[in-house]
Chains A and B, each alone.
Chain A
Amino acid sequence: MHRLLLVTPFAAVAAFAADAVAAAVPYTTQVRAIEKIAHGPVNPWVALAYLVSGVFFILALRGLSSPATSRTGNRFGMAGMLIAVVTTLVTHVSLFNSEPCPESQSSESFGIIVDCQVDFPSHLFSFGEILVAIAIGAVIGITIARRIAMTSMPELVAAFHSLVGLAAVLVGWAAYLNPGAFGLLVGDSIGAVSKVEMGLGIAIGAITFSGSVIAFAKLSGRMSGSPILLPARHVINLGTLAAIIVLTALFAMAGPAETMPLIIALTVLAFLIGFLLIIPIGGADMPVVVSMLNSYSGWAAAAMGFTLGNTAMIITGALVGSSGAILSYIMCRAMNRSFISVIAGGFGADDSSAGGGEAKEQRPYKQGSAADAAFMLEQAEKVIIIPGYGMAVAQAQHALREMADMLEEKGVEVKYAIHPVAGRMPGHMNVLLAEAQVPYENVFELEDINSEFAQADVAFIIGANDVVNPAAKTDKSSPIYGMPVFDVDKAKQVFFIKRSMGGVGYAGVDNDVFYMDQTMMLLSDAKKMVEEIVKALD
């Protein structure tokens, strides 16, 4: 049998489902599925092409280890995707006919078997439709990518995650409706193992979709960023998750006639749980949510990869899944929050009581002018700038870079110190500074620069607050206690640009840095203040 099957039927099972499947799938079904694999034709060239594609994706991420190699990495990613798509397009032809080919009619070129019974008109018609679909997506995608402001990256990424999730749901459903095309038939129904993988793929995809839609709405301000807390939400969420697992098992065991209501219920519940999981999470926890959804979109792709037996999808899913998980971990660590407490939600809901309640007494602070700041900056040998998201909101990054350039011309050493949660997603502040043409060698991470504050003449805080709050080190009752912060109190001088003394940071706590002897408060709009300093430096 020379008919090429792009998608091999197989009895694979995601590691996380192994136990459930072992319990749910009758032994005979497993054996039958495995037999089918053993006999199914796998074109080694096609399998190899997907493997190359997967390796290119690994290289794409590897390239990101430094800005210098990152652009090459991105090209590897594009090449990997091109290989995967072209391989599928070239080989999908054979999926049209369900009759085995007579040996004589199939031809082979470069090892890829061209199908024997190509129905050309219908094939070309399909091909045209596919190209149109790709073109529509390309135009939309490229237009968005060109126009998006760098400050809006978090919501763009959330929106993109939702698309991956929805695509996974669609592919899962398509595989359910037309299992023959995906090579999933064992006898005349879908193999039980394939059904578990399909069910998981649809569920994870749907959670990714609805969760990302909520994250997008919150990040873009279309929905209040504050947590929405339902009564008994933990019971509801756990119950829904349990129901999804039970439904997946029932779906896998059900006879062909009974599967439809189960998969519909599974899909609906998964959409619901995605929504329920994200609405109670708000404010400062959003970077964790975005990273977590990144991870989910990867697991969704991996589950689909298991269904299709496609190495490119499995490798990619594993990469993206780990990537999102690591980023979530980094974000949690940077806020000293446990992953569980982020998921449980509600952060920011009780902040009003923590911030507003007690300490309302006025404490003395020193206020300075742009001219004072400019004079002292000029005298300094070393200045460390700590930008926060407030700087980006005020659009002060270009003025800030101009100020740093002028100081460098005067022989002052200028460095930027970035806290992992400085932006609204991992690495966001680095992108915003890069956009303002700050050279990346001048930008340092928290752990790399924190020891240098003792030698710094000026710590220049602009739009940041919680990340310099010493309460994180000393005050056990503070909501930000345990969060790693910059040791700005070790610097000889601290300049703190802030709109007024009233507002407090995300966490809603007072900051002792305002009242230190060496602190000079520069109360103004960040952009206006920096522009005035630039003028004074001239």
Chain B
Amino acid sequence: MDFISILSIFVLACFVGYYVVWSVTPALHTPLMAVTNAISSVIIVGALIAAAAAEVAGAKWLGLLGIVLASVNIFGGFAVTARMLAMYKKKEKK
């Protein structure tokens, strides 16, 4: 991918983010923060690459530590979001 394509993706994603986030109901802003936390840990991709490459020991260990940190965030973030969302209930019909 060349510079312009990747920049285009970034800029368009910023616009998508802007409109999508404004459409999030304020009642769910806390779960929004928890879930954005979880998805920003997609940075684990970089950590996986570093840990998988064996040539440089230092980079490999940094990668493995990065995997642990990002995993805490991924599992913790999605789990706590799920826990919160499960609490939002409609009125029980009597």
Query: A residues near B, CB below 8 A?
Result: 6-8, 10-15, 34, 37-38, 42, 47, 53-54, 57-58, 60-62, 64-67, 70-71, 73-74, 77-78, 80-81, 84-85, 88-89, 92-93, 95-96, 122, 126-127, 129-130, 133-138, 140-142, 144-146, 148, 150, 153, 156-157, 160-161, 163-164, 166-168, 170-171, 173-175, 177-178, 180-182, 193, 290-291, 294, 297-298, 300-302, 304-324, 326-327, 330, 418, 420, 423, 425-428, 430-431, 434-435, 437, 439-443, 445
Do residues A11 and B2 form an inter-chain contact, with CB atoms below 8 A? yes
6 A-B residue pairings within 8 Å (CB atoms)? A65-B24, A141-B75, A157-B34, A294-B37, A330-B26, A434-B89
Do residues B46 and A171 form an inter-chain contact, with CB atoms below 8 A? yes
Select which of A64, A135, A140, A168 is within 8 A of B35 by beta carbon.
Answer: A64
Q: In the complex, how many angstroms separate the beta carbon of B50 from the nearest chain A beta carbon?
A: 3
Do residues A174 and B59 form an inter-chain contact, with CB atoms below 8 A? yes
Do residues B50 and A133 form an inter-chain contact, with CB atoms below 8 A? no
Q: A67-B28, A298-B40, A426-B33 are in contact. Are A137 and B74 (CB under 8 A)?
A: yes
* Other contacts beyond A92-B48, A427-B29: 16, CB < 8 A: A12-B1, A70-B88, A84-B44, A92-B49, A133-B67, A140-B68, A140-B71, A141-B76, A157-B37, A164-B73, A174-B63, A301-B41, A307-B46, A311-B6, A426-B30, A442-B91
Question: How many residues of chain B get a CB closer than 8 Å to chain A's CBs?
Answer: 84
B-side interface mostly: helix
Q: A84-B42, A141-B76, A425-B30 are in contact. Are A440 and B37 (CB under 8 A)?
A: no
Do residues B67 and A430 form an inter-chain contact, with CB atoms below 8 A? no
Chain A positions within 8 Å of B47 at CB level: 167, 170-171, 174
Encode contact with A along B28-68: 1 for CB under 8 Å, 0 otherwise: 11111111111111111111111111111011101111111
Do residues B88 and A440 form an inter-chain contact, with CB atoms below 8 A? yes
Do residues B3 and A13 form an inter-chain contact, with CB atoms below 8 A? yes
Q: In the complex, how many angstroms separate the beta carbon of A79 from the nearest chain B beta carbon?
A: 10
Do residues B71 and A70 form an inter-chain contact, with CB atoms below 8 A? no
CB < 8 Å A-B pair total: 407
Do residues A137 and B27 form an inter-chain contact, with CB atoms below 8 A? no
Alpha-carbon gap, A153 to B81, bound state (A): 11
A-side interface mostly: helix
Q: Which residue of A lies closest to B11 (CB)?
A: A15
Chain A positions within 8 Å of B22 at CB level: 326
Do residues B42 and A313 form an inter-chain contact, with CB atoms below 8 A? yes
Q: In the complex, how many angstroms separate the beta carbon of B8 from the nearest chain A beta carbon?
A: 10
Q: Which residue of B lies closest to A42 (CB)?
A: B1
Chain B positions within 8 Å of A440 at CB level: 27, 88-90
Do residues A318 and B62 form an inter-chain contact, with CB atoms below 8 A? no
Do residues A137 and B39 form an inter-chain contact, with CB atoms below 8 A? no
Alpha-carbon gap, A11 to B6, bound state (A): 9
Alpha-carbon gap, A468 to B46, bound state (A): 48
Chain A positions within 8 Å of B79 at CB level: 141-142, 145-146
Q: Which residue of B lies closest to A161 (CB)?
A: B37
Chain A positions within 8 Å of B65 at CB level: 133, 170
Do residues A322 and B14 form an inter-chain contact, with CB atoms below 8 A? yes
Q: In the complex, how many angstroms separate the beta carbon of A335 from the nearest chain B beta carbon?
A: 15
Chain A positions within 8 Å of B29 at CB level: 327, 330, 425-427, 430
